[in-house]
A and B are shown apart, each in its own frame.
Chain A
Amino acid sequence: MERILEQAQKVAEAAEVFMVSTEQTPLKFENNRLKHILSKQSQTVALRIIKNGRIGYSVTTDIDDVRMLVNSAAETAAFGTEAKFAFPALGDYPQVSVYDPGIEAVSMEQMAKLGKEMIDAVRAHTPEIACDGGLTKSTTSIKILNSAGGSAGYRSSTFSMGLEGTVIQDTDMLFVGEDESSCHPLTDTRTVTSSIIRQLDWAKEQAEAPDKALPVIFTPSGVASALVSPLISAFNGKNVYEGSSPIGDKLGKAVFDPKFCLKDDATIPFCPGSRPFDDEGVATRCTALIEKGVPVAFYYDLQTAGLANTKSTGNGARSGARLPSPSASVFVIEPGTTSFKEMLSDIKEGLVIEYVMGAEQGNVLGGDFAGNVLLGYKIDNGKITGRVKNTMVSGNIYQVLKDIAAIGSDSKWIGGSFSTPSLYIPALSISSKK
């Protein structure tokens, strides 16, 4: 890495080298049985240079090919974007624990056993279910150095387990599923299995789907599947800078329900989305985005912050072989005080929405969502009466999140980088096939 930096500094006024190495072990179960064990090793190194004021960028998996890497970075710099930032001094980071050495000791045999345990528990409840899923452990090591001086690095670990079940009767298919992840090795399968069993219980009967606007409760996974993408997009500093975020000019104004609070926090210990510094070597932090319904900040990387005349919030992320860009790290919708039961008992007729399929395919930028309710339940007189099918919901988050009837006290992690409670919306458009 030092050699790459040294060579790059010969052709450019400033340079940065970023390296990621990952070891990953996924175990895959298919139709209730262990099918495949994989082990994956990967390593990529990225070189970003500023040459004649312009950004050049190149990525390779071949760490020894220094000359090629430096040449292609220089080639792209000839056409590159004007740099609006300087590389930061590396160091002085918050203490964020994201590595548990215990993960190294977890054997494939132990993982296979946990997988079998999950499947056995779900099949004991519903013998005809077909389960696919698996467990993955991985460790990642990040290193960064730049011409501003210094170097930094950290290690992280992730352990995840998940299961998807299908129950088929004639042409009717029911899909249920749950997953969990942590930086610690997971040993208890009940979080996953109890949630799946709860879904199976609620979906046992089929209920008639309504075809009008009704109150709905989005469960945490329902929120994740329908409402989060437009929020992630709206608070992205790049969209704000370009004027395509509907809330770009609404800092300090009441946009959402006063109960609604959102933050981005990459400093939560042992959360898989956390890290001490971002992919540009900027310290991470907890950034409040919505306070009492009022947008108070957006998230930025170095270049976008430079353009927008503000500071990076430590949200620079690299995806694939692309230059860093602003990316949400750990989104947290703050829990409220209403229990799920209380929400339910408040609704005479409505839906509980557990998963919306395809909601992110429309005008996400504008806040729209619309999709098929793949897993959702009918509420009649405060009780769940069965699952609905052939049903669509659609709406716009700037209307839906402006008037929230209640925010749940039931916060839950979805996929290691998003936490949300259930949200009770007084009216949402529902269409269904007669």
Chain B
Amino acid sequence: MSQIENIAKEASELIKKYDADYIEAHFEESASSHISYRGKKLDSVDSSRSIGGNIRAKVKGGWGFTSFNNPDNLNRRIEQAISQAKLVSRGDIALAPAEAIVDTVLLDSDKNPFKIPLSAKKELASEYNDIIWRTPGLQTSVVSYGDSVKKSIFVNSIGSFINQERADITVYLMAVATDGKEVQQSGISMGSRGDFSRIRTLHPQVKEMADKAIELLTAPQAKGGEYTVVLDPVLAGVFVHEAFGHLSEADFVYENENLRQLMTLGKEFGTKELNIVDGAAVPGLRGSFKYDDEGTPATKTYLIREGKLTGRLHSRETAARMGEAATGNARAVSYRYPPIVRMTNTYIEPGTATFEEMISGIKEGIYAKNWYGGTTSMEMFTFSAGEAYMIRNGKIAELIRPVVLTGNVFETLKNIDAIGNDLDMNEGGGCGKGGQFPLPVSNGSPHIRIRHCLVGGA
């Protein structure tokens, strides 16, 4: 994988010669493979390879961007990006200061999924599918394994030349049960930053998932309404990502005076026990990296400390606009898109409560685990549990159908009244924003308890 290095070198010289406030270029070479089983049969095996690049130029406060697969004629691409930026030109965009960085970050050889033969990946997928099918009464199943290795080179007109490699692995499993009238499903989503061994030992979870699909057929549905809910670390991770993470992305706030006031640093969002962090500098996770896609070094940012708003996620542009420092959160899902403000690894720091303490005082509540998905409008968020139980008189009671929870961020974070001591990270799925999906991120939390949470139901 070195085809792009020569092109990047050529571009890094070229972009210095043009008359623009700022120019940057990304070049990317990636390979991916995918294996899936559906039902008892192998469904598909495929592989892909992609080479491409982009030019982004800023002139008088306007941005122009061109992306391409064919790297010939770089001059013309640069000129096009500049002319587009000139057409926008509005005269008021600054960028937070940055230093020229020249660095190379190579993949650890034990975190390269392409060192694992395709046959071993297929073997693992088949092993998991066999486990699923040992549960009697299932209708069908999905096992989907995907991996990718990406080399990207970032150059800009102030002299940066950053060469980074990264790998990503995702696994998605689902079991489907039916009794002839209804269909119920149960799923698991996992991932790692290229470490195959991390997804090699899911056998017990896979078995549990398959059994769950059958049990759900006879499980009752919760009655809709307000409940005290306890979330497991996986679902609480999705909750913190949706309910607060997206609101912390400064590109949502920076241009809007009303929102800036709403998100003034120091504002109280939760109790003293609540601490929320985002950072790509937290090592070894799916959202970890050394430099973001604007060449800013990764950091670790406290979004909430002791219940108060203390930070937010920035690109160079949003940081300059708000007079704060860039946090290394400008990311693009591929060379086909410009970088925008994104999360990396987002989590609630552990507190002191044990799980038993959390549920002991609850007369009627819901224990929600695992996840299907989540989404946000900033003020309102929803997220859905993959698995749920009633809590009755301080004890976990019957299994219920998966629930969807919703809330208002400005109230719900304050309603977190217990934070567990058992932080765990969720590395499944991917994040979508502005048409860019799926971006590798991770999120996590200890068990948390939320009062007055709205649950959909019959």
A108-B87, A392-B224 are contacts. A31–B256 as well, Cβ < 8 Å?
yes
Kindly list chain B residues whose C-beta atoms are within 8 Å of the C-beta of A211: 225
Which of A97-105, A179-187, A369-377 is the contact stretch? A369-377
Q: In the complex, are the beta carbons of B372 and A361 less than 8 A apart?
A: yes
Which of B62-70, B189-197, B361-369 is the contact stretch? B62-70
A81-B45, A370-B404 are contacts. A108–B84 as well, Cβ < 8 Å?
yes
Q: In the complex, are the beta carbons of A322 and B410 less than 8 A apart?
A: no
Q: In the complex, are the beta carbons of A361 and B182 less than 8 A apart?
A: no
Q: In the complex, are the beta carbons of A36 and B46 less than 8 A apart?
A: no
Answer yes or no: A173 CB below 8 A from chain B CBs. yes
Q: In the complex, are the beta carbons of B67 and A372 less than 8 A apart?
A: no
Distance in angstroms between the alpha carbons of A211 and B176 in the assembled complex: 32
Task: Tell me the nearest residue of chain A to B379, going by C-beta.
Answer: A173
Distance in angstroms between the alpha carbons of A75 and B48 in the assembled complex: 12
CB distance from A90 to the nearest CB of B (A): 22
Answer yes or no: B185 CB below 8 A from chain A CBs. yes
Task: Tell me the nearest residue of chain B to A81, going by C-beta.
Answer: B42
Kindly list chain B residues whose C-beta atoms are within 8 Å of the C-beta of A109: 87
Answer yes or no: A415 CB below 8 A from chain B CBs. no
Q: In the complex, are the beta carbons of B67 and A40 less than 8 A apart?
A: yes
Task: Tell me the nearest residue of chain B to A166, going by C-beta.
Answer: B256
A38-B84, A431-B457 are contacts. A58–B43 as well, Cβ < 8 Å?
no
Binary CB contact string for chain B from 136 to 170 against chain A (1 if under 8 A, 0 otherwise)? 00011000000000000000000000000000000
Which of B18-26, B49-57, B99-107, B292-300 is the contact stretch? B49-57
Which of B32-40, B275-283, B350-358 is the contact stretch? B32-40
Q: In the complex, are the beta carbons of B44 and A57 less than 8 A apart?
A: yes
Which of A59-67, A194-202, A283-291, A334-342 is the contact stretch? A59-67
Chain A residues numbered 369-408 whose CB sits less than 8 Å from any CB in chain B: 370-372, 374, 389-390, 392-394
Binary CB contact string for chain B from 390 to 403 against chain A (1 if under 8 A, 0 otherwise)? 00000000000111
Distance in angstroms between the alpha carbons of A55 and B256 in the assembled complex: 53
Distance in angstroms between the alpha carbons of A366 and B217 in the assembled complex: 11
Kindly list chain B residues whose C-beta atoms are within 8 Å of the C-beta of A429: 224, 456-458
Q: From B35, B225, B374, B377, give the contact of A361 (CB < 8 A).
A: B374
Answer yes or no: B112 CB below 8 A from chain A CBs. no
Q: In the complex, are the beta carbons of A40 and B372 less than 8 A apart?
A: no
Q: In the complex, are the beta carbons of B404 and A61 less than 8 A apart?
A: no
Q: From A172, A242, A357, give the contact of B382 (CB < 8 A).
A: A357
Can you list 24 A-B pairs, Cβ within 8 angstroms, ordered by A? A31-B256, A35-B62, A38-B84, A40-B66, A40-B68, A59-B49, A65-B49, A72-B47, A80-B42, A108-B84, A112-B88, A130-B255, A166-B256, A357-B375, A357-B377, A361-B383, A363-B184, A372-B381, A394-B224, A394-B456, A394-B458, A430-B224, A433-B408, A433-B454
Extra contacts besides A76-B47, A76-B118 (19): CB < 8 Å = A35-B63, A37-B85, A38-B84, A41-B66, A62-B49, A62-B69, A81-B43, A166-B256, A169-B258, A171-B379, A245-B183, A357-B380, A358-B404, A363-B401, A365-B176, A372-B380, A392-B406, A394-B404, A434-B226
- Which residues of A line the B interface, CB within 8 A? 30-31, 33-44, 55-62, 65, 68-69, 72-73, 75-76, 79-81, 108-109, 112, 128, 130, 166, 168-173, 175, 211, 238, 242-246, 320-323, 357-358, 360-363, 365-367, 370-372, 374, 389-390, 392-394, 429-434
Sort A-B residue pairs by CB-CB distance and give the 7 closest, nearest first. Answer: A358-B382, A321-B48, A431-B224, A31-B255, A370-B456, A37-B84, A361-B373
- Which residues of B line the A interface, CB within 8 A? 32-35, 38-39, 41-52, 62-70, 80, 84-85, 87-88, 90, 118-119, 122, 139-140, 176, 178, 182-185, 224-226, 255-256, 258-259, 262, 336, 338, 372-384, 401-404, 406, 408, 410, 452, 454-458
